[in-house]
Amino acid sequence: MSKIVFLSDLHLSHTHGFFWENFRRARDAANASEADLVIVTGDLCINGPDSDAEMQFAAQALEGLEARVFALPGNHDVGDEPPGQDPAQIVDEARLARWDAAFTADRFAIEAGAWRVIGVNAQLFGSGLPREAEQEAWLDEELAGARGRPVALVLHKPLFVEHAGEDAPTVSSLNPAPRSALLAKLQAAGVRMVISGHLHASRDRVVDGIRHLWLPACAFLGAGSHGGAPEVGAVSVDFATPEAVVAPLPGLELTPFVLAEIKQHGRWKFLRDMPPCPPEVASAAE
């Protein structure tokens, strides 16, 4: 088992189906790739923090993937860590419980080829919730269990945008305090790669000895207000050797939706506030 498909930022909803067709194409391309595993790096939903039905819809959609699937939560699934981009949707116990009911787990550790791949719940960092400390202790154990294998950490948000010294609170990445604690841990453990979604942009570069891979989104293009290249798509990563090989998912073409256009240039603040436009019932029932 060495080849993993990464799908990120699906933004699915049973009431707002803007991105359903893009998901179908990504799902079919992932199935055609015969990858051993699919990792979904967060933002499966639009209004996951407040909708049982939407989270169930996203969970059901993932059943169309033929490989084993691990899903990690994003801010549109369990809410943001404080202060957050939407004060009405801060991560809390009830939102984590909703995720657990749909996806069972919010973290994983596996061996893939030469690597150990560890997935964590990005929304816990800086949340102050009991599960944050629980995850920290678990991560320490899993990092220790790598025993010399290169480790890739997977989570919804990047650790930082440009560099680790960014000191302003931000919704674009982890916040400064939890970031420096996590980075110190990763550096001490010799972690080689960090793979993240959230910004809907692609980027692949080494900073202070760690390769930071930003994943394209399945749903829509990033605003381009950060580094990286706004992109829709998906990638596969082959972990067979200590040099992980990243490639676009073959045969995948997604519609490059522009969020501002969908929200009619400021008419709507959030997609969830827009008039319902469900995905085709026939498609949703597949």
Q: Which residues bind Fe ion (CB under 5 A)?
A: 9, 43, 74-75, 198
Distance CA 286, CA 127 (A): 37
Q: Least distance from C-beta 10 to Fe ion, angstroms? A: 8
Nearer Cβ to Fe ion (66/166): 166
Nearer Cβ to Fe ion (68/269): 269
Distance CA 252, CA 29 (A): 6
Q: Least distance from C-beta 83 to Fe ion, angstroms? A: 15
Nearer Cβ to Fe ion (27/116): 27
Nearer Cβ to Fe ion (46/151): 46
Distance CA 79, CA 185 (A): 25
Nearer Cβ to Fe ion (9/54): 9
Mapped to the 3 state alphabet, what secondary structure does 116-158 carry? EEEECCHHHCCCCCHHHHHHHHHHHHHHHCCCCCCEEEEECCC
Q: Least distance from C-beta 257 to Fe ion, angstroms? A: 12
Distance CA 280, CA 262 (A): 18
Nearer Cβ to Fe ion (74/158): 74
HSE (side-chain half, CA atoms, 13 Å) at 263: 14
The values of phi and psi at residue 100, to 5°, are -60, -40
Q: Least distance from C-beta 196 to Fe ion, angstroms? A: 10
Q: Least distance from C-beta 51 to Fe ion, angstroms? A: 16
SS3 96: helix
Q: Least distance from C-beta 190 to Fe ion, angstroms? A: 28
Write out the two tokens for 80: 């943001």
Other CB atoms within 10 Å distance of the CB of residue 177: 12
Pair 107, 117: CB distance under 8 Å: no
